[in-house]
Amino acid sequence: MINFINENEVMMMKRMLTFIGALLIFLIEAFIKTNQNQTLSTTKKIPTVGILQPLTHPALDEIHQGFVAGLKSESFIDGQTVKLDFQNAQGDQSNLKTMSTKFVDEKVDLMAAIATPAAQACANAAKGQTPVLLAGITDPVGAKLIKTDQHPGGNVTGTSGDAPLDKQLQLLQEVVPQAKKSASFILPVTMVVNIMPRTLLNWLLKPV
């Protein structure tokens, strides 16, 4: 017995085969692309930067934002050409040690420390191995983070936010010569809390 296939059935079969072929090509291309992406992800390692901040504060937040913006201006974009791991200790000193140790355990390529407590925690955790970048540090030498401003030495370097307090006081005296009392507001987690009282005392005891 001979079965005849009409023209409509032939056209339907051709369309079905075309669809199946196109689907197979799509699946094969998707498979190849996935494998290529996996290969790239395993072979191309982007640098990791751990950023440690002791607490939320407008001045410290600006340093963090400026650091990220600076990286971006040099084409280091988070999630693309660099991985940024931001940690905020929320004012808890014990968190600083935990978070800085986490950076070392995860083998970050650089630790960026904002303010003195974070810098000291990172420097202690790094043990001279992982580079530590300082920002917003009042007295890095006094905090025993570096040897001198000119020659930091070791694996720690960065910028100091030390302002000429004696000149500020002199300007205040010139602007308001009749002032008898003044008030100073200090962020307690910074080295300013140690330096400012000493500077104020030296300035007050200075011969007129």
Nearest Cα to 187, choosing from 100, 118, 134? 118
Higher pLDDT, 10 or 103: 103
Dump pLDDT digits (tens) for 87-125. Answer: 999 999 999 999 999 999 999 999 999 999 999 999 999
Query: 3-class DSSP state for residue 136?
Result: strand
The pair of structure tokens assigned to 133 is 């970048």
- Give the model's pLDDT for residue 10: 46
How far apart (Å, rounded) are the C-alpha atoms in residues 54 and 184? Answer: 21
Q: Give the pLDDT confidence of 68-84 residue by residue, as tens digits.
A: 999 999 899 999 999 99
Pairwise CA distance, residues 159 & 135, whole Å: 5
Question: In 127-177, at which residue ranges do the beta strands (DSSP E only) sit?
Answer: 132-137, 156-160
Q: For the chain, which residues make up each domain, given as ranges?
A: 48-160, 165-205
Average pLDDT, the chain: 78
Under DSSP, is residue 66 helix (H, G, I), strand (E, B) or coil? helix
Residue 82 bridge partners (DSSP)? 78
Indicate the DSSP class of residue 100: H
48-160 in CATH: which number? 3.40.50.2300
Tell me: the pLDDT tens digits for 111-170?
999 999 999 999 999 999 999 999 888 788 888 888 887 888 889 988 876 666 677 777
